[in-house]
Structure 1
Amino acid sequence: MYLSRCIAAAVACAAAPACAATYYVAPAGSDTAAGTEAAPWQSFAHAQAVAQPGDTVWFRGGRYAYTRATTSCASRRAAVAGIVLDKSGTATQPIRYWAYPGETPVFDFAGMKDDCRVKGIEVVADWIHLKGLEITGAPQQPDNRLNHESWGVWVNGNHDVFERLDLHHNMGPGLFIKDGGWNLVLNTDSHHNYDPYTSNGAGQSADGFGAHISAGHPGNVFRGCRAWDNSDDGFDLINAYSPVTIEQSWAWQQGYLPGTHTSLPAGNGNGIKAGGYSGRYVPNGVKHVVRFSVAFDNKVSGFYANHHPLALDFFHNTAFRNAVDFNMLGIAPDGGPVYLGTLRNNLAYPDGARLKVAGADSAANSWDLHLALSAADFDSVAATGWDAPRKPDGSLPDVPMFHPTAASAVVDKGVDVGLPYHGKAPDLGAFER
């Protein structure tokens, strides 16, 4: 009887998250060490080899420098990775790769000299959770102009979480979802990414975030994310054949040499490019949703349908100081231009002069209501301060910009689209009073 109880307890413990192991990695550690806080490992690869579903790996602060990929370049057009995550967790026991509390582990791939495209971190595993990591330097080689971008994080997994990442100065997108479904990109920043050696022009492919997924992979969400100072677009959903949601996210100053307003001719310069299939009409396009988001100071469009073949949903968004605030350019079955989109409760400041929405389903937006908005309608209309530090839980900072005042003309002027609101009716724009 006693032995049976012990066996049952051991089985229960093996299946319970409370019995999962905790390991530690540090730049000055050793993979021959015990992996404890006092004797940490050194490499991500070793931590993954040991970790099992339910385990947590804590990365201590400091620089983890990579000088070569896990495999060699099969050709100058091939792609290799500095780190490959290919061990999956489970629905109830994900594998967690987290920054040690209060510290910042920096994964730096700038020293890699592989003569092909580079994925800083390649994720093909399911049910893993990356949190608090800084990822930078995914390179292109200056004498190899045969390729498009490299990538900071490249994803082809399912049910993964990418939380509180800081993705910057990569020669391509900070984070790119190639395929897979039900991935969550949460409270993550992607900025100052620039691809100077891309074959079709410097700056053409370095988005903050991208999702170009195939059919059958729904459920990808970007929430609480910020993209700024990227040479191409902030968010790019071109060629995505499964629906994607972008919500409570901000995008500004795309399409320029990062850190400047010097235009890059090849950089597209859209804040949120929410669809499109390379300018072609396709009969199996899908509907994406963009809501409660802000786009400003982008070289071309703040919110852009990008020749999408069906109406996308744009609800409760704020745009200002873009060349075009809302551009709903779609494509008809015959390949001709048509304006498509369902727009509700959006705000273009100060007026609706920078719009391309004629023919789209546009109602209860600031321009439809002919609101004469001024700075007095908001706590602030500043274009600076949006990159303020995040709150301790990683959520977006509490900034006053475009939060309506009590007497604002945008208060209670919206219509119910099934999203939460206060008062008699929804307010216009990304922020509810």
Structure 2
Amino acid sequence: MNPAPDTGLVRAAQAGDPRACQDLFAAHLSLVYNVVGRALDGHPDTDDVVQETMLRAVAALPRLRDPDRFRSWLIAIAVRQTQERGRARGTSQARLRQWDGWTELPDPAADPEGETLANVSLSAQRREVAAAARWLSPAEQSLLALWWQEVAGVLSRTDLAAALGITVAHSAVRVQRMKAQLDLARQVVQAWRADPRCPGLDTAARAPRRDRGPLSLRRAGQHVQDCAACAGRLAPLVPAERLLTGATLLPVPVALAAKVAGLLSTGTLAAGAGSLGLAVGGWLRRAAAGLSTKTAAVGGSSLAAVTAAAVLAVHYLPASTPPAQADPARPTPSAAASAAPSASPAASPSRRPPTAAPPLTGVATADLYVAPDGSDGNPGTLAAPLASLNRAVELVRAGQTIALRGGTYRAAAPVTITTSGTGSQRITLSNYRGEQPVLDATAIRGNQWYVTQRASYWTVQGLAVQHAKTFPYVCVSCRGSVFQRLAMHDNGATGLVLRGPGTVGNQVLDSDFHDNHDDAAHGANADGVAFKDGDGAGNIIRGCRAFRNADDGIDLSGFADPVTVEHNWAYGNGVNRWALADFAGAGTGFKLGGGDPIPAATHVVRDNAAWDNASYGFTEQGNPGAIRVTGNTAFRNGGDGFAFWFSPSLLEANLALGNGRDDNRGDTARESGNSWNQSGWSTALLRSADPAAAEGPRRADGTLPGTAFLTTTRPGVGARMAP
């Protein structure tokens, strides 16, 4: 293991000490080259990305506030530059490789472009790993590139996790899942190369163009696992760690070292970093003179391929309604391998509110009535109500209202909503008057979403949904729908998800999403509420609370267009309240990025508060968009209050107190008027540090409760905490 740089060395380099600069960059050039080279899979852009990384690192080094984080900071810059280069090219290299026309999967030893893998002679199974890696998703391929450095002893698990912006426990689970996918791909490679090849595998592998990549692997892998003929041709798999341990690190090409030396000594760096550039440039020239004259290209046989996001967010929301035998929360078998983090004072469980029920405002009249003691043979009147939501959504038409009477509805089958309203004739699904309907999805199978809405212009209000084994409510490509005064709790996945292309103009208002925990996935896929893996303008989350969920509070991963997130509270997420083995809940209050790939979304985040979450309060999660983060509060979170490493986000008038670290920002973030930009801020300025009122019942109109919690004697900074 390469030791972490001495903090004194980093500080000396920041001050412009030439010798310190030489030693610091000498120790890390090879690391940068290997991370970028493995991730880009021999693309001609490799040298350019390494040069850009070094330039950015030298220019930004004086602004690095925590010298202990130098190595993970440098790795994060390297992977971020890799991501930017992939976005500029506009394609994912791995997904350009198709099954069509291949007599067998690409053999790294064939080296068709004359490139080699650092002259490493791969065994048959190493070659299988190299070919199999190309069928991982881009996020998994990027993770494999970093994990390779860990196996080689270059990075620690802490470095890997820090570079990805996740916790060590969460990174362990993601690595384990990636390895499971890699092993599945290795089996497919073995079966594909069998002579004769199984005809069924040919059929399974040759997917339509839009389905190639990881989905094609999933289809082929399922065939191999189910086919007796294919299974009989499989050899035992040597653990990937042993195979990768035998591969050497890539030496830095002489030409690249010379180019970097030239760039760093041109005097074009930003003011304050020029002395660093001159020092490092001098060392690089001397280093280049001592290198072998043979340039080692990073060939197409590299195990890790393609660009991916610097911060990974592995999500298990299916791309479509789950098949009959697939668990949507876990598309491939995997074994989590991280220890459950102990609850610290910063991530201590928040108290449970007196009631999980939403406020009881409801409709007074309706076109269709449903009651627990009704019958689906009834006409659906107030006197003769229907029995099931399923029947009501079959009968409803544009402009009509469904009223659910109070009581518990024991769902017997999933609900699919396909009838749309219009802008002037909305469909309303509501509780009746002051009554409380509770939809209990205990009987729904674990591979089925409970409610799937594929319709637009609905208002859904006043309901509680509980005990679904997976997603309780998913709205796919919905337009103009409103979800308000809901309580989605104790489900096996995220409480409410809006996803898919054309998710436009929806509002999630005055609702509580809590205590959702996906036990099968060790807590890694149960957020409060999410807009994810889709696009569309005009979406809003306002006045909601997301709390005590196993994973995150509010999640915007993979959503390409701006979402307005205002006046919401997220607290107590990511704490293992269920004694789950290998707990993997991330525990972020507001996750404003992530996905595969990560879109550049310019979300608007204002007047929100995050407290007592196990990890970050607010994080970009690799989102390269210019997020506007204004007037928010992060208090007593286990990780960073505000973590914005990569994006050019604007942070204004935010308050961070009592977090693991109050703020952690990169050199592209813009900021003004935040508590960390001012002197004199401490928890002594809080009017109240007791969250009891904030975590208690809502007001009668459904808005957030009144509280003095997190308000301060210095107004103008942080969340208002007022309805």
Tell me which interval the TM-score lies in, with the shorter structure as reference length: 0.7 to 0.9
Structure 1 residue 109 corresponds to structure 2 residue 441: yes
How far the C-alpha of 1:209 sits from its partner, in A, is: 1.0
AA in 1 matched with 2:466: T
1-side partners of 2:583 and 2:578: how far apart? 16
Q: 1:122 aligns with which of 452, 463, 477?
A: 452
- The structure whose Rg is larger is 2
AA in 2 matched with 1:300: S
1-side partners of 2:581 and 2:634: how far apart? 20
AA in 2 matched with 1:327: A
User: With structure 1 as the length reference, what TM-score do the two structures score?
Assistant: 0.77
Q: 1:275 aligns with which of 588, 593, 606?
A: 593
AA in 2 matched with 1:105: P
Structure 1 residue 162 corresponds to structure 2 residue 507: no
Structure 1 residue 266 corresponds to structure 2 residue 573: no
AA in 1 matched with 2:388: S
Q: 2:643 aligns with which of 303, 320, 327?
A: 327
Bigger shift: residues 43-52 or 217-226: 43-52
Please name the residue that 1:366 is paired with: 675
Q: 1:300 aligns with which of 615, 623, 633?
A: 615
Task: Summarize the alignment of residues 9-408 of structure 1 with structure 2, pairs less than 5 Å apart.
Answer: 22-67=367-412, 69=413, 82-112=414-444, 114=445, 117-139=447-469, 150-156=470-476, 157-179=478-500, 180-198=503-521, 202-215=522-535, 217-258=536-577, 265-278=583-596, 285-323=600-638, 324-330=640-646, 340-349=648-657, 353-359=661-667, 360-375=669-684, 377-404=685-712, 408=713
AA in 1 matched with 2:531: A
1-side partners of 2:562 and 2:448: how far apart? 27
AA in 2 matched with 1:65: R
Give the number of the structure whose residues are more often helix, by fraction: 2
How far the C-alpha of 1:301 sits from its partner, in A, is: 0.2
CA contact (8 A) 1:275 1:288 kept: no
CA contact (8 A) 1:172 1:205 kept: yes
1-side partners of 2:652 and 2:386: how far apart? 52
How far the C-alpha of 1:245 sits from its partner, in A, is: 1.4
1-side partners of 2:648 and 2:627: how far apart? 7
1-side partners of 2:382 and 2:707: how far apart? 37
AA in 2 matched with 1:212: K
Q: Over the residues paired in the alignment, what is the CA RMSD in angstroms?
A: 2.1
User: With structure 2 as the length reference, what TM-score do the two structures score?
Assistant: 0.47
For structure 1, the residue ranges without an aligned partner over 5 or more in a row are 1-19, 70-81, 140-149, 331-338, 412-426
Please name the residue that 1:336 is paired with: none
CA contact (8 A) 2:663 2:676 kept: no
AA in 1 matched with 2:367: T
1-side partners of 2:499 and 2:420: how far apart? 17
Structure 2 CA distance for partners of 1:291 and 1:398, relative to 1, 3 Å:
same
2-side partners of 1:127 and 1:293: how far apart? 27
How far the C-alpha of 1:352 sits from its partner, in A, is: 9.7
2-side partners of 1:372 and 1:129: how far apart? 43
Bigger shift: residues 117-126 or 185-194: 117-126
Structure 2 CA distance for partners of 1:353 and 1:206, relative to 1, 3 Å:
closer
CA contact (8 A) 2:366 2:400 kept: yes
AA in 1 matched with 2:419: K
How far the C-alpha of 1:258 sits from its partner, in A, is: 3.6
For structure 2, the residue ranges without an aligned partner over 5 or more in a row are 1-364
How far the C-alpha of 1:21 sits from its partner, in A, is: 5.7
Q: Name the SS of the counterpart of 1:197 in structure 2.
A: helix
2-side partners of 1:318 and 1:212: how far apart? 24
CA-to-partner distance for each residue in 1:77-100, whole Å, 9 max, x for gaps? xxxxx1111111110111111001
CA contact (8 A) 1:269 1:300 kept: yes
Structure 2 CA distance for partners of 1:432 and 1:390, relative to 1, 3 Å:
closer
CA contact (8 A) 2:710 2:721 kept: no
2-side partners of 1:185 and 1:269: how far apart? 21
CA-to-partner distance for each residue in 1:251-309, whole Å, 9 max, x for gaps? 0111112479x99641111000011334x5x6x52211111100011111000111112
Structure 2 CA distance for partners of 1:65 and 1:256, relative to 1, 3 Å:
same
1-side partners of 2:560 and 2:581: how far apart? 31
AA in 2 matched with 1:125: A
CA contact (8 A) 1:287 1:312 kept: yes
Structure 1 residue 431 corresponds to structure 2 residue 720: yes
Bigger shift: residues 21-30 or 129-138: 21-30
2-side partners of 1:206 and 1:289: how far apart? 23
Q: Name the SS of the counterpart of 1:117 in structure 2.
A: coil
AA in 2 matched with 1:60: R
Matched-pair identity in %? 34
How far the C-alpha of 1:214 sits from its partner, in A, is: 2.5
2-side partners of 1:250 and 1:303: how far apart? 11
2-side partners of 1:401 and 1:259: how far apart? 28
How far the C-alpha of 1:357 sits from its partner, in A, is: 1.8
How far the C-alpha of 1:373 sits from its partner, in A, is: 3.0
AA in 1 matched with 2:566: E
2-side partners of 1:224 and 1:48: how far apart? 28
AA in 2 matched with 1:253: G
Give the number of the structure whose residues are more often strand, by fraction: 1
AA in 1 matched with 2:441: F
Structure 2 CA distance for partners of 1:87 and 1:351, relative to 1, 3 Å:
closer
1-side partners of 2:670 and 2:649: how far apart? 6
1-side partners of 2:588 and 2:528: how far apart? 11
How far the C-alpha of 1:387 sits from its partner, in A, is: 2.2
Structure 2 CA distance for partners of 1:30 and 1:183, relative to 1, 3 Å:
same
How far the C-alpha of 1:384 sits from its partner, in A, is: 3.3
2-side partners of 1:315 and 1:109: how far apart? 38
CA contact (8 A) 2:693 2:706 kept: no
